[in-house]
Amino acid sequence: MISQLNEVPLWDIVIIGGGATGLGTAVDAASRGYKTLLVEQFDFAKGTSSRSTKLVHGGVRYLAQGNIRLVMDALKERGILLKNAPHITSNFSFVIPAYKWWEKMYYGFGLKIYDIMAGRLSLGSTKIISKKTAQELLPTAETKNLRGGIVYRDGQFDDTRLAINLAQTAEENGATILNYCKVIKLEKQEGIIAGVHILDSITGKEMLIKSTNVINATGVFTDAVLKMDDASQPKLVAASQGVHIVLDKKYFPGNNALMVPRTADGRVLFAVPWHGKVVVGTTDTPVDHTSYEPTALEEEINFILTHINLYLSADISRKDVRSVFVGLRPLVKNTAAKKTSLLPRDHTVVISKSKLVSITGGKWTTYRKMAKDVLDKTIALGQLEKKTCVTEGLKIHGWTDTIERPDDLYYYGSDAAMVKELYKENPAWKESIHPALPYTKAMVIWAVRNEMAMTVEDVMARRTRSILLDAGASIEASPIVAELMANEMRMDESWIREQLNSFISIAKKYTMDDV
């Protein structure tokens, strides 16, 4: 990929940022036939895009807020994503338990509208259920005052596996996709954007990349790039922190998710089964400071534990938490809104005087529509030949019509058979990296050879989801992973030591010891 930088004297489009927005834009641009380069300063989805609730959803909460357009768009995108990436998405049952007499009718009616809005892309109809069925679907739900509930369908996915598959799809369509390359300066000619200066953080080499168009897709870091363009730019993005905790499945068995539309203090709470664990969250805390490894606040953990204990019969405490992960929502600033939870989740495209195009806001679910929108607006600047978007029917890398869900490797889709082929090269690679983690040594090798994993953290956090599923176990497994990677990448002992120090200091932030 790096060698391709020297082969292209002028790119049509350079995209800054390798999260959902940037990767989606790279897929769109490359599949329209533009000469496309994406640069990500760390690893793909290192930012917000690895820290979502893992829902492909219209957003029941946004419906309650009256944001009909966002919900309609998101429901359409949900349907498209489930078709184009069936290996990393699933159609899931969400159960709202009803503890008050009016809740069944109120939420049941709202969710019927949600279904109708999804039209032919509906994932199945909403049902009002009895107390007995609610108990069957949510075996550990609190039964005191339980009056039944509502079951509706929504989507679930693996956010970083989708990010990696989008990078692969973009590359297969002709894009050049680089991780560990940071944009440090914008290049201008007569005041108009003409490229970017990048720093390859692995070799330390700086390079000027010339491009007709530059798209800034840097999430909560959008303002930093806008400032490179014009130091007097007002802030565009407000960051809001969301925390999740991960628990063992025994606290929430079964294959249905729990959705609480309105906790006592007016928030939404989800408990969603995921890779053999349960993800519970989230919070919505405005933050002034943006960081790549944000820290959960004590009160956020307390909020999640207190509220999940109201809805589940088990008494879950801090010691039961396997991992805690924190993400920052890039929300478009709106001075009228008093709370970040009231800021709209729609995306915004801003074109500055220098013709730098910035896109921010939105959701993982709507990444494809966001990409189409930003590309259409970039084309309208008049520097590119007009070409139409083809992503609505474009299959994402890994697409297959023969997914066997009980298979541990189902989320590799069409790559699963090739991951298994590695067992023939070395039968020891069939072994697990840790008894508490659902990952084999072959997956580590695959990630290095085929998915551009450069560091132990890339493998543990985003190629596999070890750090999210069990942060303690991921620390214990890290020496094995570092050793496998070093052999594969021909790295020495000092690389292993440096990788382990760096990974362990990050992984500790995901344990409860650091909150």
Distance CA 491, CA 11 (A): 33
Nearer to ligand FAD (CB atom), residue 177 or residue 433:
177
Distance CA 30, CA 175 (A): 5
**CB of residue 461 vs ligand FAD: minimum separation in angstroms?**
12
Amino acid, single-letter form, for residue 295: T
Nearer to ligand FAD (CB atom), residue 45 or residue 403:
45
Distance CA 399, CA 419 (A): 15
Nearer to ligand FAD (CB atom), residue 22 or residue 195:
22
**CB of residue 101 vs ligand FAD: minimum separation in angstroms?**
30
**CB of residue 39 vs ligand FAD: minimum separation in angstroms?**
5
**CB of residue 499 vs ligand FAD: minimum separation in angstroms?**
19
CA 52 to chain centre: 5
Handedness of CA 46, 52, 57, 60 (dihedral sign): negative
**CB of residue 300 vs ligand FAD: minimum separation in angstroms?**
10
| Among the listed residues 478, 480, 439, the one whose alpha carbon sits nearest the alpha carbon of residue 457 | 478
Q: φ, ψ for residue 475 (rounded to 5)? A: -65, -45
Q: Kindly give the pairing relationship between strand 181-189 and strand 192-200.
A: antiparallel
Nearer to ligand FAD (CB atom), residue 128 or residue 257:
257
Half-sphere exposure of 349 (CA within 13 A, CB side): 22
Tracing tokens 């966001």 back to the chain, one arrives at 370
Nearer to ligand FAD (CB atom), residue 133 or residue 201:
201
Burial of 121 (0-12, 13-18, 19+ CB in 10 A): middle
Tracing tokens 């990078």 back to the chain, one arrives at 167
Q: Applying CB under 6 A, which residues contact ligand FAD?
A: 16-22, 39-42, 45-49, 51-55, 182-183, 217-221, 225, 242, 282, 327-330, 362-365
Nearer to ligand FAD (CB atom), residue 69 or residue 430:
69
**CB of residue 284 vs ligand FAD: minimum separation in angstroms?**
8
C-alpha separations of 348 from 49, 50, 236, 374 in Å? 17, 21, 9, 9
Nearer to ligand FAD (CB atom), residue 103 or residue 229:
229
**CB of residue 484 vs ligand FAD: minimum separation in angstroms?**
25
